[in-house]
Structures are given as structure tokens and as C-alpha cells.
Chain A
Amino acid sequence: KAGVTQTPRYLIKTRGQQVTLSCSPISGHRSVSWYQQTPGQGLQFLFEYFSETQRNKGNFPGRFSGRQFSNSRSEMNVSTLELGDSALYLCASSFLQASNEQFFGPGTRLTVL
């Protein structure tokens, strides 16, 4: 069974631009969560989607948004990029809700110049 895949793996953008990251969950998994990892703040929860609905949202500004498609694939978008958005963005999928094991993808390394 293929794991969680994320594209692209690396991305370089400049301040003010926007970016879209993609995540394909493990086949059969319906829940997708996104996390941001930075050296200063560590791993922080962004949002969770289940059956195309946002179920939970972390404490991030509205520039961070996401969506989930009917095939459970998910995208997250960051608009008006800031230097502080440079981070590793990790996507995780799980079979159901209820705090099942979350399986993580390799992440997208975003650098904002």
C-alpha cells in the first residue's frame, strides 16, 4: 500500500506570492490533517479535513486555507507569503476520525525569500 504522498517536495517562493501544496492520503483514508514544522515553534496543527469538510482548525491566520476533494486528496494554500512561513509542511492521513494513528507524508519544504 502506498504511503502518504506530498507534492512538491521543495518549493522556493518570494514574499507576497501564494503557494498551493498537495497531499494524497493512503488509499481508503478519509481524514487528512496538515501541520507546520519550524525550528522555533515546532510542530503545529493547521487544519483537518474529513469527507471534504474542515473538522478542526489550528491557530493560524486566514492566509492559510485548505480543501479536500471527493477522492480525499487535499490541498493547502498560503496567500501573501511572509518570511516566517518558511517551514516544513507535513500532511497526515488516518482511516477514520477518533484519533487513529496518523500516517505522515515526507513533507513539503517551503522557503520564502
Chain B
Amino acid sequence: AQKVTQAQTEISVVEKEDVTLDCVYETRDTTYYLFWYKQPPSGELVFLIRRNSFDEQNEISGRYSWNFQKSTSSFNFTITASQVVDSAVYFCALSEANYGGSQGNLIFGKGTKLSVKP
């Protein structure tokens, strides 16, 4: 069965610290997609990144970076030089490949609440 585990329930850091959010996934599919979403207090989920299972290249976008390792089934997210505006709940999600036209529902982890204090 598919499963996403975000072991860190809450993390608190001081502004400018680096922080890594862990995500471990389980799937029997060889083709799958991994996502990270940010949910600020307003409630709307904001898409951050999508990765397919064949692309293990790490990605950097500004202060954000992602480390995808199939060998450990992990897709970790690092925020460098954190800012107060980064405070939110971050969700990692997994989706199956497209079979029969379905987009594949997202399986979400429980989320990690990040608090960045000034």
C-alpha cells in the first residue's frame, strides 16, 4: 500500500537557520510522483514541487532545495536561511502513475508544522 511518513510533527527554528523536513514514502509502483505543498494559516495548499520517480536529480529553487533518494525512499525538503514567512505546515505527497486516465489521487503525509521565530 502507498504511504507517506513525515516523522517530524513540529519544528521550531530561529530566523536564518537552515531546516530540513523529512519525507519517507512507500509504494510498489515503479512509476510514481512526489510532491511538496505548503499550507499557510490561510488554509490554501500551495504547490512547491513535483518529481517523477525517474528523475533523481536534486533541485534548488532559491532558498528551497529537495533531495530525492530512491535507495532510501526519501524526498527531503530543505529551507536555507529560513524566514518568518516560511512558517506554515508542509505536506509531502505521493501519487501513482497515470493508469486508465486517472490522474492518481495524492496520498499525503500528516504534515510538518514549521515555526520560524524572529
Size class of the contact patch on chain A: 20 to 34
- Nearest B residue (CB) for A30: B103
Min CB–CB distance A64 → chain B (angstroms): 14
Q: Does A2 contact B (CB under 8 A)?
A: no
Question: Contact at A56–B102, with CB atoms within 8 Å?
Answer: yes
B42 — which chain A residues lie within 8 A by C-beta?
A: 106
Task: Give the contacts of B80-107 with A (CB-CB under 8 A).
Answer: 91, 93, 95-98, 100-107
Question: Contact at A55–B102, with CB atoms within 8 Å?
Answer: yes
State how many residues of chain B have any CB contact under 8 Å with chain A.
29
Q: Of residues A35, A42, A90, which shows the largest number of chain B Cβ atoms within 10 Å of its Cβ? A: A42
Min CB–CB distance B62 → chain A (angstroms): 18
What CA separation (Å) do A35 and B105 show in the bound complex?
9
Q: Of residues B93, B102, B109, which shows the largest number of chain A Cβ atoms within 10 Å of its Cβ? A: B102
Question: Contact at B107–A45, with CB atoms within 8 Å?
Answer: yes
B interface residues, Cβ below 8 angstroms from A: 33, 35, 37, 42-47, 50, 52, 91, 93, 95-98, 100-111
A interface residues, Cβ below 8 angstroms from B: 31, 33, 35, 42-45, 48, 50, 55-56, 58, 88, 90, 92, 94, 96-107, 109
